[in-house]
Chain A
């Protein structure tokens, strides 16, 4: 499967990559986006099977990117990996079409819990 990791921090993209490996998801093709606009562009051009996105990013936030994708008819499975995990944000993410929200700091177990049904 192809997974798109979108985060403006290279450090966090690396941590997400490492956590995917620690959670046992080896062998998937990983591609990256540095902001929300790139996320939309790459989701359309590269057709990933899953998008893991930060919320707060320059150019276009994660939720704006998700809404843009859904408005254009793109229904790629989409989950947030973000530093805020309030109920309000979870509700907003869900209403926008996200299937989960993993709050930072996360563990490999938290990834497994959310991703096993998609990648397992």
Chain B
């Protein structure tokens, strides 16, 4: 039992329809962007019968738009804390749904936001699936990483 890219797409589209595109004007377009961005990476750790991370990564511009949409304010009004909270919550909701597709029993950690993805040891793992999309012209990706046995998820 393992999640697939199609599962991630389905979950992400539900989350967008419920929270980020409630009026149908800001759809998550399931087309890979020209260039991926990992300016902001939010994730939740899963531990137990399976160890790994569920991640949401996007550009800085997309992260501000997401926070603005979730908080119902302008993108120029959101703080760094709002962005971390918003992306962390997206990772949390997507992670909770992904967890139902993983071996049981597992527990979900609290969301974390990491802004230096290239050199962050927390983000090391074997990618088992990914969904790439474009949102408001900006790159957005959801992925699941499996940690080697005993890998650090905390």
Contact = CB atoms under 8 A, between A and B. Distances in A.
* Prevailing SS type, chain B contact patch: helix
A10 B111 CA distance: 13
Contacts of A11: 67, 70-71, 82, 85-86, 89
A9 B99 CA distance: 20
A104 interface: yes
B90 to A, nearest CB: 9
Nearest to B90: A11
Contact size range, B: 20 to 34
A83 B11 CA distance: 12
B88 interface: yes
B97 interface: yes
B97 A83 contact: yes
Given A11-B70, A12-B89, A14-B71, A106 B108 contact: no
Given A83-B97, A85-B96, A85-B100, 8 more contacts: A11-B67, A15-B70, A56-B110, A83-B93, A83-B108, A88-B104, A104-B92, A104-B93
